[in-house]
Amino acid sequence: MALGGKLVPFAGWELPVQYEGILAEHRWTRDSASLFDVSHMGQVEVSGQDAAGQLETLIPASLQALPKGRTRYAVITNDDGGIVDDLLVTRRADDVFMVLNAARVDADLAWFRSRLPALAFRHRPERALLALQGPLAAAALSELAPAALKLAPFAYGEFDVGGVPCTFSRSGYTGEDGFEIGCDGTAAVTVAEALLARPEVRPAGLGARDSLRLEAGLCLYGNDIDAGTSPVEAGLTWTFGARRKAALGVPGAARIERELAAGPARRRVGLLPEGRGVVRSGAAVHDESGHETGVVTSGSFSPSLGVPIAMGYVATHHAEPGTALQLDLRGRQVPARVAALPFVPPRRHRQQPA
Amino acid sequence: MQNYRYTKDHEWVTVDGDVATVGITEYAQEQLGDIVFVEMPDVGRTVAVGDEVAVVESVKAASEIYAPVAGRITEINPALNDAPETVNEDATGSGWFFRIQMTTPGEFDQLLDEAAYQALTGGS
């Protein structure tokens, strides 16, 4: 808290929500580069015979074909075809490295260990994770870790920052170029201070991280995806790849295949409410004749667009961009239109949106 | 120096004759963070003490504003429509929300005074 931030408790962690203010931090990330402390994320190392191949039995993504030193966004499915968690999977020289949602680590590990007893899953809560995000993220590393600039989007490497060994993945959760940097927790302040000493970089909190990811159309587990939503409804089947899509072989495959063939009953969409009122998670969505057609799962003010934005699920026949709908806001109905995601186009080196 | 009174919901009130001006405190705007929208009551509406009359939207959350005194809404701050950040910049001045023609002007004196409000927020 040396930087004067506000902390809130989450999943057993004290999280920095904001430093200078969400709007300023959000805009600085879009214009320059911000450093987010995301050490609460679950960093897990997986080792064992054919780890990538075995993980494919729980994760519908092409992990065996993933070259060493590459990272992929993926989901873990449950027996009902819902989503256990979403994650980043990296194939490293000697193991597979996963970054999981903080609130899901325990459930994920229990699931993996029950289904894949031959693999070893090592949770590394003592490791810190810093996300450097923004168009000037690479410039900020030009002297501290110049080799990291050569990483392609979704590539992984290991470089020192100020004498501290760090893991780098060119990925993020903002729709901007950026890097997720792992290091030992005891050295995290050294790394963070080295990055924050750069004029391009300022600290940002999880409030800005949330408005940035919503503009980028990215899902927040527990809001936009959960154990009941399928990857088809969520628009995440692009993570499967053609080979896996043709032969899923994961828990819940029957539902996923049925929805792939016939289309899902509902789909995740962007929503643009009229006016300035912010429609938030949990608000009901109605069609023009007043019939309930879905629910808002994320809603915020968009600092980049200057208007409220939202994301949610609606019946498939209402999911076409431009469709006129109504959103509950404090007991009245606010007109809204279905909008294509993302709201703010991602720039280079991004996580592919739905 | 104007006489400010406060509510436990972090609103401030000043009076000029029997017209009360209402806004949110410095403490409240600091807690809310960046304010992006204020939903105002209709001018002419009659309100009782504790009625929900406005909503402040920050990036993070929405917060209700309650009528601190009874009466009729006579004016809303037009500047907040285009510049809601005025509340962050000058919460107790140009960031005022609305004015109420009080039916019972004595209600003002029953609100928290400066010392009581400071005690509530743990401020100095």
* Dist CA A294 CA A281 (whole Å): 12
**pLDDT above 90 as % of chain A:** 91
Contact A72, A155 (CB under 8 A): no
HSE value, Cβ hemisphere, 13 Å, CA-based, for A108: 28
ipTM of the complex: 0.84
Among A14-28, A162-176, A204-218, B4-18, which stretch is predicted with the lowest mean pLDDT? Answer: A14-28
Are residues B62 and A280, on separate chains, in Cβ contact within 8 Å? Answer: yes
Provide the shortest C-alpha distance from residue A308 to chain B (in Å).
9
Considering only the beta carbons, identify the residue of A207, A277, A330 that sits closest to B59: A207
Q: How far is Cα A180 from Cα A195, in angstroms, rounded to an integer?
A: 13
Q: What does B52-65 look like in DSSP terms, one character per residue?
A: EEEEEEESS-EEEE
Cβ distance of A278 and B62 shorter than 8 Å: yes
Return the closest-CA partner of residue A251 out of A225, A275, A231. A231
- Between the CA of residue B108 and those of A59, B98, B105, what are the distances in Å? 63, 15, 6
Nearest CB to B37; choose among A207, A276, A303: A276
What HEC string does chain A produce?
CCCCCEEEEECCEEEEEECCCHHHHHHHHHHCEEEEECCCCEEEEEECCCHHHHHCCCCCCCCCCCCCCEEEEEEEECCCCCEEEEEEEEECCCCEEEEECHHHHHHHHHHHHHHCCCCEEEECCCEEEEEEECCCHHHHCCCCCHHHHHCCCCEEEEEEECCEEEEEECCCCCCCCEEEEEEEHHHHHHHHHHHHCCCCEEEECHHHHHHHHHHCCCCCECCCECCCCCCCCCCCHHHCCHHHHHCCCCCCHHHHHHHHHHCCCEEEEEEEECCCCCCCCCCEEECCCCCEEEEEEEEEEECCCCEEEEEEEEEHHHCCCCCEEEEEECCEEEEEEEECCCCCCCCCCCCCCC
Q: Give, as one character, the DSSP assignment of residue B70.
A: -
Structural domain spans, chain B: 5-108
Q: Nearest CB to A207: which of B36, B37, B60?
A: B60
Query: Residues B33-80: pLDDT tens digits?
Result: 999 999 999 999 999 999 999 999 998 889 999 999 999 999 999 999
Contact predicate A117/A165, CB 8 Å: no
Q: What is the pLDDT of residue A18?
A: 75
Report the CATH number of the B5-108 domain: 2.40.50.100
**Chain B residues close to A278, C-beta within 8 Å:** 36-37, 57, 62
Q: How far is CA A24 from the centre of its chain?
A: 21
Per-residue pLDDT at A105? 98
Closest-CA residue of A relative to B54 is A330
Residue in B39, B55, B59 nearest the CB of A301: B59
Chain A residues lying within 8 Å of B36, measured CB to CB: 23, 276, 278, 301
- How far apart, in Å, are the Cα atoms of A132 and each of A109, A201, A292, B29, B66? 27, 8, 41, 29, 41
Above 60 in pLDDT, residue A256? yes
Q: Quick one: pLDDT at residue B99?
A: 98
Confidence of residue B2 (pLDDT cuts 50, 70, 90): confident
DSSP annotation of B68 reads S
Q: Which residues contact A47 (CB under 8 A, 6 or more apart)?
A: A94, A95, A96, A119, A120, A122
**pLDDT average, residue stretch A129-137:** 97
The mean pLDDT of chain A is: 94
Burial of B93 (0-12, 13-18, 19+ CB in 10 A): exposed
Query: pLDDT tens digits, residue range A167-193?
Result: 999 999 999 999 999 999 999 999 999
Predicted confidence (pLDDT) at residue A351 exceeds the cutoff of 50: no
Distance (Å) from the C-alpha of residue A286 to the closest C-alpha of chain B? 22
Q: How big is the A-B interface in CB pairs under 8 Å? A: 42
User: Which band of pLDDT confidence, cut at 50, 70 and 90, is reported for residue A118?
Assistant: very high
Looking at residue B17, its pLDDT comes to: 94
Query: B 63-122 residues with CB below 8 A of A?
Result: none
Provide the pLDDT for residue A346.
87
Q: Dump pLDDT digits (tens) for A258-287.
A: 999 999 999 999 999 999 999 999 999 999
Mutate to test the interface with B, among A27, A278, A332 (most CBs of B within 10 A): A278
Burial of A277 from C-beta contacts in 10 A (0-12 / 13-18 / 19+): buried
Smallest Cβ–Cβ distance between B55 and the set A301, A303, A330 belongs to A330
Tell me the shortest Cα–Cα distance from B15 to chain A, in angstroms: 30
